[in-house]
Amino acid sequence: MKRIALGIEYDGSRFLGWQTQPGGGTVQDALETAIATIAARPEITVTCAGRTDRGVHARGQVVHFDTDAERPDSAWVRGVNALLPDSVAVVWSACVPADFHARYSARSRTYRYLLINRPVRPALEARYAGWFHAPLDLDAMRAAARHLVGEHDFSAFRSSECQAKSPVRTLHSLEIAGAAGRIEFTIRANAFLHHMVRNIVGTLVYVGKGRHAPRWAAEVLESRDRARAAPTFAPEGLCLERVEYGAEWNLPAQQSRLRESLVPSP
């Protein structure tokens, strides 16, 4: 039995989320069916680094699965891609040690949220960006973001449906860049709670539009009360950009390269 790791990218607007459902229609359903066909096995189960909701995209998702089928790496890339819908693709494949785990071996995850900030809603990017109509104060949002960096109890930013055993996470960085009506929030942490990124973005937008001072983000965090934070922001602007692993796993180099920002830093 061998363990195979794959790098995956997908357009979340075409799926009902990552996790398999009885009626199908998820990224996991499409991927497992294609892999099982290439492996010539009745069933294959894949485990991902981070489950994404309906409408959320991924550029750097990582999965693993076990199989006794002998196939070249190219079969797990080109072969599987030939059986996948055009909204999801395998980017790379690697044979990994049996103790590698796509989720538990990961050191960090990086998400990026793209927000269109202009009076009129977007059309061409409607499936790939959030939207807010009123002007936003980037400096105020950056000041608020600094209160969230570090190890904290993020209960105020977790969904009521979150199944994580602990609400404590370490947020390594939270960067905000903006230009020409586009704002990008880049958030890196050891792990994330359900809806954590979208709840943080919503809270920062409340600060940016002047509803609250930057210190309010710290008050929300300290309260550990989800009702104190802003509503969950739309999923369309969110993308899992990168999952970071230690060098000992020897994963393909392109997996560790974060896409260059669409928005130049000021």
The residues, ordered by sequence, that sit 6+ positions from 80 with a Cβ below 8 Å of its Cβ are 6, 31, 34, 35, 38, 90
**CA dihedral defined by 94, 99, 102, 107, rounded to 10 degrees?**
-110
CA–CA distance, 98 with 51 (Å, rounded to integer): 22
- Indicate the helix (H) or strand (E) that contains 139: helix 138-146
**CA dihedral defined by 128, 155, 27, 125, rounded to 10 degrees?**
0
- Indicate the helix (H) or strand (E) that contains 62: strand 57-67
CB 166 within 8 A of CB 235: no
Burial pattern 54-78, b for ≥16 Cβ within 10 A else e, equals ebbbbbbbbbbbebebebeeebbbe
CB 101 within 8 A of CB 47: yes
From the candidates 53, 73, 99, 153, give the one annotated as an active-site residue.
53
CA–CA distance, 249 with 238 (Å, rounded to integer): 27
CA–CA distance, 242 with 209 (Å, rounded to integer): 29
The residues, ordered by sequence, that sit 6+ positions from 129 with a Cβ below 8 Å of its Cβ are 114, 115, 116, 122, 182, 236, 237
Q: Is 53 a catalytic residue?
A: yes
Q: Which residues are catalytic?
A: 53
